Chain A
Amino acid sequence: MKMSQQWVQDLTEFPLIEKGLWLFLKRNAHSFFQHRKKEWVWSIIETLLYTLVLGQGLGAMIGEVQGRSYLEFVLPAVVLGSVFLSAYQESTFILNQKIESSRMVQKYLLAPSSIQQYMFAELIWITLKCSVIGFTGAVMMSLIFKVSLLVIVGLLPNCILMAWLASAIGFSMTSFSNRESNYILFFSFAILPMFLLSGSLIPLSYLPQWTQDISLIFPFTHGLESVRWIYRGLLGPELILHFGVLIFLSLVLTNFGISRITRRVQLRG
């Protein structure tokens, strides 16, 4: 098969959903709730610290943004940033470590269910775990800092979409490289600029026009904008467009990441 054909196939073929997928998901949930549930604590503390310093501290200096408190403006960026980053870390550094040094992936390579089911379950699990932890953090922040309920409502679908997208990006990255330095490079050159230029800390309208134009290609912009649209009570076609972009990107990158990571694991054998 030609390389171009392979790429088209990787981008368009959705992973199979078989019995093994549910079994691996059950295993991941069991492992988390029985042995690793402490993991969510740090993520919540991180969100709390950012909200305290950026939202309340900086917010006191800035005052209102777009007619609302700065804390309500910046909270979606803090929560979605945390969700995105934790899902990216899990699907690059930790996944790569599992593939390279743990005997677990090699073990499941021998299972009757295909390794693709295991990898797909990992992606779904990272998405679920990171979005639930992120959303729990958001709810806690709203209670502590008395944030509008509309911000929280807007965050629910976006936590899931951001975690899904970050996992899919992470899987695609991991399928290309087993070097951790490459994951750091991608973070520095792609994820960090995306976060800063997507209207996370200040409204996009305060930035130059060219920055506003570029920001439209960043998925993070669509995530933040959709939260803010819901927050303003605007449920029009733009909102569907923002969600559509995120779903489309996540779907395509899921296909791509799962197909390629499966091949990487099989080749490593």
Chain B
Amino acid sequence: MDIRPNEKILELRAASHVGPNQLSFFKVSLDLSKNTTLGLYGDRDSGSSEILKSIYGLISIEEGTLSVFNLNPKSHTSKIREMTGWLSAQPLFDDELKVMESLQFWCSLYGINPDASYRKILEWSRHLEIEVGEGDDYEQFDEFEKQKISLLQCLLTDPQLILMDGYADRFHGAQLDWWLRFYNQHISGKYAVLVYSQKSELLEKMATSTAIMNRGKLTGIKSNEEWREEVESKEIVHINCTFEEAQYLLNKLRHFRKVFQTDLGLRVYLHKEQSVHDVLSVIERPSLTVRRINLGDVHLHHTGRLIIYEGMVA
């Protein structure tokens, strides 16, 4: 299927999914156009893997709409998979076959004949700086090389959309440098990429826009600049209020670092010396629910989790 420039590859609208034990994600909306990268940032159980799985047709959303290449993943699973690559945190491999055999077999599942797949393997191996011999077993390769083989397998099938579920999160130092170099040279701007990571600095370097996953809820899609501002802010206060109340309060809260209106009310970014009590004293309305969203107490680069402290009401 040919995708025209700027054509939407992915459209998720108010989608929710309930897993076996808990809500995976709730009312999530996101778009992805050709040749752009959208990052999902959050902790392990933030629901991002489930979003990727629903796009790939591994699970179905209970609510909302999802269209990938203008197709419904539930009814056109194999068509979508033929155009989509998946990269997971753990390399997935077929240890009953030699690496070359396994790669060629994978290509055959996509209708690529053995000669063409062999040529592609050699070509991508060069770019990936890895040598795959005819008789090589998976166990001969180290973890980083196995990740490269996963990437090779993904790129062999010429996907138009790549879903990365924690791929590269375990890369450090020289491996990370290699990955970013490869990503910029061969992936960025050439494929539509939806990447989930627990590493904020990785997403900053890869994604053109980022959505913050928050205990199963997507808080919004932002440019990296906006997102950095949110992450760097020590304290954020959320005020639950109506549209009219928000309009009235916007003016009163102007001396705080940043204030903006959301669907549910107002979000106020505080300066270092300000506290939630300053907000409460300004709004003078005890009936409003005020939540303190504290990012400062958590080392984001280590856990990736955004903690919301509920019920911090005066």
A residues touching B (Cβ–Cβ < 8 Å)?
20, 23, 27, 30-31, 34-36, 102-104, 106-114, 266-267, 269
Contact = CB atoms under 8 A, between A and B. Distances in A.
B82 A27 contact: no
Contact of B92 (A20, A23, A103, A112): A103
Nearest to A269: B58
Interface in B74-108: 77-78, 81-82, 86, 90-98, 101, 105-106, 108
21 contacts: A23-B109, A27-B97, A30-B97, A30-B105, A34-B101, A35-B96, A102-B95, A103-B91, A103-B93, A103-B95, A104-B95, A106-B92, A107-B93, A110-B58, A111-B81, A112-B81, A112-B82, A112-B109, A113-B78, A114-B78, A269-B59
Given A110-B58, A113-B78, 6 more contacts: A20-B109, A110-B81, A110-B92, A111-B109, A112-B81, A114-B78
Contacts of B90: 103
Interface in B1-32: 20
A179 B109 CA distance: 32
B161 to A, nearest CB: 13
Which label, helix, strand, loop or mixed, suits the secondary structure of the A interface?
helix
A185 B233 CA distance: 60
Contacts of A30: 97, 101, 105
Nearest to A110: B86
B53 interface: yes
Contacts of B106: 111
Contact of A113 (B53, B56, B58, B109): B109
Contacts of B82: 112
Nearest to B20: A267
B110 interface: yes
Interface of B: 20, 53, 56, 58-59, 77-78, 81-82, 86, 90-98, 101, 105-106, 108-110
A269 B56 CA distance: 12
B81 A107 contact: no
Contacts of A102: 95
B105 A27 contact: yes
A23 B78 CA distance: 15
B108 A23 contact: yes
Contacts of A35: 96-98
Given A23-B105, A111-B109, A269 B95 contact: no
Indicate the member of B58, B93, B94, B110 with the most A CB atoms within 10 Å: B94
A113 B106 CA distance: 11
B56 A110 contact: yes
Contacts of B81: 110-112
Contacts of B78: 112-114
Given A31-B96, A110-B86, A266 B77 contact: no
Contacts of B58: 109-110, 266, 269
Nearest to A113: B109
- Which 4 pairs from chain A and chain B are nearest by CB? A107-B92, A112-B81, A112-B78, A103-B92
B45 to A, nearest CB: 14
Contact of A104 (B77, B86, B96, B109): B96
B111 to A, nearest CB: 9
Nearest to B153: A107
Nearest to A106: B92
Contacts of B53: 269
A210 B78 CA distance: 53
B110 A104 contact: no
A129 to B, nearest CB: 13
Contact of B77 (A31, A106, A114): A114
